[in-house]
């Protein structure tokens, strides 16, 4: 655990008692603070009280008075579409509002670091798509090279729940826009921006607010090195804002699909080959085509970003290549989990928006596409032109018929996962891929995208075994 510093003896409110909130309460207490906790869910309050924490309704008159800070869980809005009433009361009373990410960055460094030969480093990854894979891949590359590393944040453990890092250790964080938008301290050594596509627009008041939340990772403290995906306008703009000159190698530009030139530092993938260029000269190259854990151009972009991040930490290209080849991929993210009769089965349930689904559709030939669910703001227009490899779509979800009408491919309304899998397996032939890439959220039928992916894999395995 990382004890939170700076609040010794002070009362600190903790709003939301999920994984991050309860861990924040423990870390505050470990640092000498007095947490005052609340969650609208009685079961969550009971769990906190069972650990000895005081729960008090912050909505009652005067409850905010005397708090040194209010720590808010990521799912609780503080501005858009409307502030949570407790957050609004704290802001009106001048009580600082923060989250566990801000507490982490203000508390990580200790006097123990003075005796280390190499101070611990923090790599923080954000973006719309690919950040989980990129963060996990960075962690894997470090571990494979023998560097002590921990993975936390939006993936793995809560940031305050990790062990205090030792000499030369690295903490890899995946950070969502919900986490970066509120943290009062954001000071990674290496910051990674994968890409930007519309998502969570209601929470951020539009695409500009969404980008602003991501940009804070690079603007609030300024990482020593910034790894920026430049395949979209937002990334190119961000790289341009951060670089002092074309040769400024504090900014490492990454791309999948285009060769990057100029005198700076860049890493890009074209036709399956990763290349690293510095000062106009190639200094590294890796063939990604036969690395099964990283299929498709979108994963090649993830590989470029991870490669750049660990190169900034001093890993050699040969060590990185060995780590890439041993990476097994993440569940529910272009996960090849079965082959039978010449047909490949891929679970990309994490493709919850149209951009991530389009990336998955570009990764495989002759696709039997299972899609549908709770449609996100903006509709499916961005899928136009991305479905060239799709032989047929099998649409699930409560609004499957309406979803199918928006597709530019032959489709079949199946509604349930069981029916979609049955029809896709019946139709699929050798050389084809049955791909779950929903382009929608799961909450109309499932508690999470993980549950949806697990159901898909279970149905496939049951029918293949039968």
In a domain, 236, yes or no: yes
On whether residue 3 sits in a domain, the answer given is no
Report the DSSP beta bridge partners of residue 393: 369, 411
The answer to whether residue 392 is domain-embedded is yes
- Cis link prior to 334 (omega < 30° from 0)? no
**What's the length of the chain?**
466
pLDDT at site 80: 93
Per-residue exposure over 396-412, b if at least 16 CB sit within 10 Å of its own CB, e if not:
bbebbeebbeebebebe
Neighbour count for residue 465 (Cβ, 10 Å): 7
- Per-residue pLDDT tens digits for 225-249: 999 999 999 999 999 999 999 999 9
What is the average pLDDT score of the chain? 94
Task: Give domain status of residue 91, yes or no.
Answer: yes
Residues 55 and 162 in one domain: no
Q: What pLDDT score does 138 carry?
A: 98
Residues 204 and 118 in one domain: yes
Has residue 2 been placed in a domain? no
Domain shared by 278 and 346, yes or no = no
Domain that holds residue 233: 108-325
How many structural domains are present in the chain? Answer: 3
In this prediction, residue 140 carries a pLDDT of: 97
Give the domain CATH number at 314.
Answer: 3.40.1190.10
pLDDT, tens only, 308-343: 999 999 999 999 999 999 998 888 988 889 999 999
Q: Is the pLDDT of residue 297 over 90?
A: no
Q: What pLDDT score was predicted for residue 384?
A: 82
**C-alpha–C-alpha distance, residues 389 and 360, integer Å:** 11
Annotated ligand binding at 129? The verdict is yes
Stated pTM of the model: 0.86
List, for residues 52-95, the tens digit of each pLDDT value.
999 999 888 888 988 999 999 998 999 999 999 999 999 999 99
Question: Any known ligand binding at 128?
Answer: yes
Same domain, 266 and 193: yes
Residue 132 labeled ligand binder:
yes
Note whether 120 and 130 are within 8 A (CB): no
Position 382 scores a pLDDT of 78
223 assigned to some structural domain: yes
Among 98, 133, 156, which residue terminates a domain? 98
- pLDDT at residue 377 tops 80: no
pLDDT tens by residue, 255-270: 998 999 899 999 999 9
- C-alpha pair distances (Å), 226 with each of 42, 70, 122, 187, 266: 43, 30, 12, 12, 11
Alpha carbon distance 363, 289 (integer Å): 11
Q: Which residue matches tokens 């036709």?
A: 271
Is 133 within any annotated ligand binding site? Answer: yes
What is the C-alpha to C-alpha distance for residues 59 and 37, in angstroms, rounded to an integer?
12
142/261 same-domain check? yes
Answer whether residue 6 is part of any domain: no
* pLDDT number for residue 157: 87
Q: Are residues 151 and 249 in the same domain?
A: yes
Q: Calculate what percentage of the chain has a pLDDT beyond 70.
A: 100
């Amino acid at each position: 655990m990382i004890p939170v510093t700076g609040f010794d003896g002070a009362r600190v409110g903790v709003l939301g008692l999920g994984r991050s909130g309860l861990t924040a309460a423990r870390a505050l207490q470990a640092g000498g603070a007095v947490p005052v906790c609340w969650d609208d869910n009685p079961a969550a309050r009971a769990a906190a009280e069972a650990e000895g924490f005081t729960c008090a309704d912050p909505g009652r008159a005067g409850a905010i008075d005397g708090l040194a800070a209010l720590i808010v869980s990521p799912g609780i809005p503080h501005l858009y579409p409307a502030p949570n009433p407790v957050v609004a009361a704290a802001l009106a009373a001048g009580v600082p509002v923060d989250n566990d990410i801000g507490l982490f960055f203000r508390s990580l460094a200790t006097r123990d670091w003075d005796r280390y030969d190499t101070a611990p480093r923090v790599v923080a990854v954000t973006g719309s798509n690919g950040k989980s894979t990129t963060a996990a891949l960075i962690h894997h590359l470090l571990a494979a090279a023998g560097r002590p590393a921990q993975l936390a944040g939006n993936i793995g453990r809560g940031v305050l729940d990790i062990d205090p890092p030792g000499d030369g250790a690295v903490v890899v964080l995946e950070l969502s826009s919900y986490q970066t938008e509120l943290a009062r301290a954001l000071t990674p050594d290496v910051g990674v921006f994968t890409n930007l596509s519309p998502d969570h627009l209601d929470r951020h008041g539009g695409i500009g607010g969404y980008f602003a939340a991501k940009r804070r990772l690079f603007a609030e403290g300024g990482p020593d090195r910034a790894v920026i995906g430049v395949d979209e306008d937002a990334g190119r703009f961000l790289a341009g804002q951060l670089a002092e000159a074309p040769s400024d190698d504090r900014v490492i530009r990454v791309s999948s699909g285009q060769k990057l030139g100029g005198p700076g530092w860049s890493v890009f993938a074209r036709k399956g080959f990763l290349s690293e260029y510095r000062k106009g000269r190639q200094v590294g190259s890796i063939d990604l085509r036969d690395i099964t854990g990283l299929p498709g151009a979108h994963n090649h972009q993830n590989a470029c970003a991870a490669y750049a991040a660990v190169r900034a930490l001093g890993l050699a290209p040969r060590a990185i290549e060995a780590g890439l080849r041993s990476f097994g991929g993440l569940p529910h993210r272009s996960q090849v989990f079965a082959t039978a009769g010449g047909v490949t089965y891929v679970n990309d349930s994490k493709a919850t928006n149209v951009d991530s689904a389009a990336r998955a559709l570009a990764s495989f030939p002759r696709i039997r596409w299972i899609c549908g669910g709770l449609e996100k703001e903006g509709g499916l227009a961005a899928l136009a032109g991305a479905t060239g490899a799709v032989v047929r779509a099998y649409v699930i979800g409560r609004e499957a018929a309406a979803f199918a009408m928006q597709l530019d491919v032959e489709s079949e309304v199946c509604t349930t996962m069981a029916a979609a899998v049955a029809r896709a397996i019946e139709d699929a032939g050798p050389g084809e891929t049955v791909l779950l890439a929903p382009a929608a959220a799961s909450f109309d039928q499932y508690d999470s995208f993980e549950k949806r992916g697990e159901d898909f894999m279970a149905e496939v395995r049951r029918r293949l075994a039968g």
